[in-house]
Amino acid sequence: MLRKGLTIIVVLFAVFTGLIWYNVYLPISPKLKGDQKLIPFLFNFNNELSQIFDDKLGIVPKYKWFRWFFTTLSTSSLLPKPDLQAKGINIKDSVISGIPVKIFRPDEADGESQYRPGLIFLHGGGLVFGSVNWTCYIQQCIMIAQDTKSVVISVEYRLVPEHPFPTQFDDCYSVVNTIANEPRKFGILNNKIALAGDSAGGQLAAAISLEFANQNRSSELVGQVLIYPWLQFIDVLCLPSFQKYKQGFQMDEKQTAYFMSIATMGNKDMKPEYLAGNVTRYFMRTQFWQFLEIPETSHCEVYKDNTNITLPPDFVSKVTNPRLSPLLAKSVEGSPPTLLVIPEYDILASESILYAKRLKEAGIPVITKMYKTGHGFLFRLSIPFINTPIAKQSMEDIANFLNSVFYK
Q: Residue 301: its pLDDT value, please?
A: 84
What pLDDT is stored for residue 124 in this prediction? 97
What's the start-to-end Cα distance of the chain, in Å? Answer: 50
Residue 130 covered by a domain: yes
Helix (H, G, I), strand (E, B) or coil at 388: coil
Query: 226 and 119 in one domain?
Result: yes
pTM: 0.91
Give CA–CA dist 307/99, Å, rounded: 45
Q: Parallel, antiparallel, or unpaired for β 99-106 and 151-155?
A: antiparallel
Is residue 162 domain-resident?
yes
State the pLDDT at residue 228: 98
Here the CATH number for the domain that contains residue 183 is 3.40.50.1820
pLDDT the model gives residue 20: 46
pLDDT at 141: 97
Same domain, 130 and 217: yes
Question: Looking at the structure, do residues 65 and 166 belong to the same domain, yes or no?
Answer: no
Distance between CA atoms of residues 327 and 264, nearest Å: 16
Q: Do both 36 and 111 map to the same domain?
A: no
Q: Among the three residues 48, 75, 102, which one is the final residue of a domain in this structure?
A: 75
Q: What is the pLDDT of residue 95?
A: 98
Distance CA 352, CA 61 (A): 30
Give yes or no: residues 34 and 103 share one domain: no
DSSP code, position 228: S
Structural domain includes residue 69: yes
Q: What is the pLDDT of residue 164?
A: 95
Question: In the chain, which residues have pLDDT < 70?
Answer: 1-26, 76-86, 109-112
In a domain, 246, yes or no: no
Query: Residue 40 belongs to what domain range?
Result: 1-75
pLDDT at residue 77 in the model: 63
